[in-house]
Structure 1
Amino acid sequence: MNLILFISGGVGVLLIAVVFLLILPVRLVRGVALSFAFFLLTFGGNITAPGPVWQGCLVASIALLGLALMRSRAPVAGGKRFALIAAWWGYVGLGALLGGSYSVLTMILYFGLATLAAYVASSLDDVEVRMLYTAIVLTAVFQVVVGLLELTVFAEPVWGFRGGARENPFLTDNNRVQGTLGHPIPYSLLQGVAFVVAWSNPARWRQWWRLIALTSVTVGLIIGGTRSIILAVAGAVLVHVATNGKLASWARLLFVLLAGGVLLVNIDVGIVRIIEELLVSGSWSHRLGAFDSVPNLLARPPLEAWFGTGFGSELLLYDRGYMQQTYLRVVDDMFVYALGTMGIAGLVALVAMCITAFVLSGRTGKALLVLMVGMFFSFDLFVWMYTGIMFSIIVTLPKSDPPVAGLKAPEKALATLSSA
């Protein structure tokens, strides 16, 4: 019954989106299309969903974005950051094609949609960018509701468990929820992105709405049960504050120290406890295995060491004994994954893309990139279609940091600190 209900809901959202795109003013059509596509991708845009569902969500997203481009006036799209992400997906696709690790259909749907979504994102005007940021937070709140239902009503997640249930370290005797995202880490990543968006406030909401959004997605972070996302969010918020040129350097330093202290107190984790949990955690030792694999990956024959075996070929690396992880045949580290499947050249390309995108992005974009790159150390982000496409959108979104000019002194100080 749950499956039928959610599929029916997804079809309903798609029909509503098509009608909206046909009747909306042309100047809003791209923002609405990308917002609906983002929701569809979180709904079923991963292989943890049944085949017809994830393929349907990707095809529908391509159709929505294509319809939006046809209806809209000639967009001012592209730019350096779009060139970066397009080159990345082109390189990934070439390696996957030569290595035969992905089917042509999957490459078209995933890599093609990631590039198309990035192009549309790069074309949005300020109103549409704010609309998309609002849609991201609303989608996260929807997933919080689904997650709470998963804890209290559903017998299992919407698309079932992937690798079994996982105990929530924040909520004793409860499983980590995954909503419709197929795994707790992508679920928590969405909540983390929404938290940073609500904190940085590119959508320019009133403070009351920001407080509601921050509270909602904090609940999502707790029920998602992913410890690494807490550190990634903290890093993103601190980067957002530290890149505020209007804040005095002493105030920035003071805020960073206070925020770090508040973080440790609020999540009730001391340094000793962190060390103890990491040493006994199977998750931690599993990820250490990724780093232990680096010498083997570098010692491969020169051509393979430099260019890998093709994106998506990680199982081949396990079969040949290059990967040293203990618990799962999953890399769970994006940097090591890039080194293994795309070689030294692929790893260099990934690092160069992230650094260049960081330099070219606004404050909100920088914070979101720090969040995602922070998760690279515990999650093979590009292996999951939804998170790879979300990364592409975030990298290419135009800057939309709210102004602080024209405010009175106390209001300006508050805006400068938290939402500028």
Structure 2
Amino acid sequence: MPRTPSAKITLAATVGVILALTAIPVLRLTGADTALRLPILAAIALVTIVTVVKDRGTTLRPGVIVALGMFIVSGSIANLRANDSYQWLTLAAFAGIAIAGLVLGASVRAHGVERPVFRWVIGVAAAQSLYAIYEVVSGAEPLWRGANIRRDGESIRLQSTLIDGFERAQGTLGHPLVLAALALIAVSMIVATDAVAKAHYRVALIVLLAGGIVASGSRNAVLVLIALVLVTWGASTWGAMAARGLFFGVPLALIGLALSEDRIRELLDSGSFTHRAGAIAVVPRLSDVRGFLSMAFGDGSASTPRLLNAGLLQSDRFLAIDNQFLLLFIQYGLAGLVLICGLIFAAIQRDAGAVRLMLVVWIAQFFIFDVLAWPSSAILLWLCVGLAYSRRAPSQDNESVEDRAVERAYA
């Protein structure tokens, strides 16, 4: 039975949004390239509206819409109390990408086209990984803009700490960590679903994606990749994955407890450990200087540079926070942190299938970089959340029976 016209529109809309945001880092553009920003964001908004109209509404649970509306109100209160450059654009992009991902994810589930969407994501990640390997080998100049933005506005590529003498690849995504995140979520789709059916294709794709992660130079992503493959490969139940996690995790935790922080830093041999560990010290520092309203609603969508210059955040050479939980607390306060994390963790609890694993992988990356600050990563996360919150069972087209089997994979 062929797909319905509505299912085809949903598939085309979802794939189109993913391709646009992974090809062009809309919030990372400079100079003449900034002319692309608003048309792309406007096109995504139009696609979202068309999807809602043709579906005659959305299959999202009402509570999700209410929570997102409360977040927008909370973020607006924070911005009204601030006066930072691009704060309203940042909030609009955050909310717009979230709405688009949720609506499209719910529509994808409603029409039972999860598998082709997963295949497109895997294909995009494989292409980015292949180009990333080429970047490292050839020394090609970064596309769009280099990942390291200096205080004077100049951008350069980061040096790799995994491969001495080479620079870190970033593909078309604007930053190596975003490239690594895309590859990781594609690996989770390969191991948790039957989007790629044949074992030798699965192995070949994982090897290619692993190559892209190594080319990105992210040690943390490499660790997540190893954990993901060890815990999930061949496991058919959550119980089996939990047992594997304990088998590998407990000894590592004991080793970590036995080592001092200085020794861990020495082993990792990277300023990124100090940077991310420094995020823990930021919370009490902000709590001491913030008033009630700032604690509740945050300092604004674009407040990070201001707070960095004031010495209230990490005091190192990095301009990013690299901890999504902390970034939400900084920008949107306790209200924003609770609303966004509540939506995501409730989605993890709701979905007993492959989407749960994908969301767990995203949460792991909250400790690596600012996931929701990058539209290409945020759209994929919110797509997963939308899949979990869709109220309608898959429609009876040619994908529905097979895709329901995918969702039962880890039930």
Provide TM-score, normalisation by structure 2.
0.78
- CA change 1:212–1:255 in 2 (3 A) is same
Aligned residue in 2 for 1:281 = 270
For residue 345 of structure 1, what is the aligned residue in structure 2? 335
Q: Which deviates more, 137-146 or 46-55?
A: 46-55
Query: How far apart are 1:186 and its partner, in Å?
Result: 0.5
CA distance in 1, matches of 2:11, 2:121: 12
Match of 1:402 among 390, 402, 405: 405
Deviation at 1:359, TM superposition (A): 0.4
Alpha-carbon distance between aligned partners in 2 of 1:120 and 1:403, rounded to the nearest angstrom: 19
* Residues 376-420 of structure 1: per-residue CA shift (max 9 Å, x gap): 112122222222222211211258563699xxxxxxxxxx7xx88
Given the alignment of the two structures, is residue 45 of structure 1 paired with residue 25 of structure 2, yes or no?
yes
State the partner residue of 2:202.
210
Question: Which residue is equivalent to 1:409?
Answer: none
CA RMSD of aligned residues (A): 3.5
Residue in structure 2 matching 1:58, options 27, 41, 48? 41
1:377 to 367, 389, 395: 367
CA deviation vs aligned residue, 1:335-362 (integer Å, no higher than 9, x gap)? 2222222223333334323321210123
1-side partners of 2:188 and 2:263: how far apart? 24
Query: How far apart in 2 are the matches of 1:321 and 1:276?
Result: 23
What is the CA-CA distance between 1:112 and the residue it aligns to? 1.9
Which runs of structure 2 are paired with 1:127-166 in the superposition (5 Å)?
A: 127-153=112-138, 155-163=140-148, 164-166=156-158
Match of 1:14 in 2: none
Distance 1:91 1:230, change over 3 A: farther
Could you tell me whether the CA contact under 8 Å between 2:75 and 2:301 is conserved in 1? yes
Structure 1 position 90 matched with structure 2 position 75: no
Q: Of residues 87, 98, 104 in structure 2, which corresponds to 1:120?
A: 104
Contact 2:119–2:196 (CA under 8 A) maintained in structure 1: no
User: Relative to 1, partners in 2 of residues 1:167 and 1:191: Cα closer, same or farther, differing over 3 Å?
Assistant: same
CA distance in 2, matches of 1:364, 1:274: 37
C-alpha separation between the residues in 2 aligned to 1:113 and 1:87?
14
- Name the % identity: 24
What secondary structure does 1:160 align onto?
A: coil
Task: Summarize the Cα distance change of 1:27–1:378 in structure 2 as closer, same or farther, 3 Å threshold.
Answer: closer
Q: Aligned to 2:162, what secondary structure does the other structure show?
A: coil
Shift, 1:204, TM fit: 5.8
Amino acid at match of 1:169: T
Q: Which runs of 5+ in 2 are unaligned?
A: 149-155, 253-258, 391-402
Check conservation: 2:90, 2:301, Cα contact below 8 A. no
The structural deviation recorded for 1:368 is 1.3
**Corresponding residue to 1:187 among 153, 174, 179:** 179
Q: How many angstroms apart in 1 are the aligned matches of 2:73 and 2:228?
A: 28
Confirm or deny: 8 A CA contact 1:289 1:324 kept in the other structure.
Answer: yes
1:293 aligns to 2:276 (yes or no): no
Rounded to whole Å, the distance in 2 between the matches of 1:81 and 1:243 is: 33
Paired residues, number: 374
Q: C-alpha separation between the residues in 1 aligned to 2:316 and 2:208? A: 36
**TM-score, reference length from structure 1:** 0.77
Q: For the Cα contact (< 8 Å) 1:201–1:401, is it kept in 2?
A: no
Which is worse superposed, 226-235 or 212-221? 226-235
Distance 1:242 1:90 in 2: 41
Given that 1:96 and 1:311 are in contact with CA atoms closer than 8 Å, whether structure 2 keeps it comes out as yes
Unmatched 5+ stretches in structure 1:
1-22, 264-270, 406-415
1:33 to 2, 9, 13: 13
Q: How does 1:352-363 map to 2 (within 5 A)?
A: 352-363=342-353
Q: Which whole-Å CA distance do the structure 2 matches of 1:33 and 1:154 have between them?
A: 35
Does structure 2 retain, via aligned residues, the 8 Å contact 1:114–1:388? yes
Distance 2:67 2:130 in 1: 33
Offset of 1:189 from its aligned partner?
0.3
Q: Using a 3 Å threshold, how does the CA distance of structure 1 residues 329 and 172 change in structure 2: closer, same or farther?
A: closer
Q: Which amino acid aligns with 1:60?
A: A
SS in structure 1 of the partner of residue 195 of structure 2: coil
Amino acid at match of 2:61: G
CA–CA distance in structure 1, aligned partners of residues 231 and 339 of structure 2? 23
Residues 147, 158 of structure 2: 8 Å contact kept: no
Q: Between the two structures, name the one with larger relative contact order (CA 8 Å, sep ≥ 6).
A: 2
After superposing the two structures, state which structure 1 stretch, 184-193 or 280-289, moved more: 280-289
Q: How far does residue 41 in structure 1 lie from its aligned partner after superposition? A: 0.3
Cα distance in structure 1, aligned partners of 2:201 and 2:57: 31
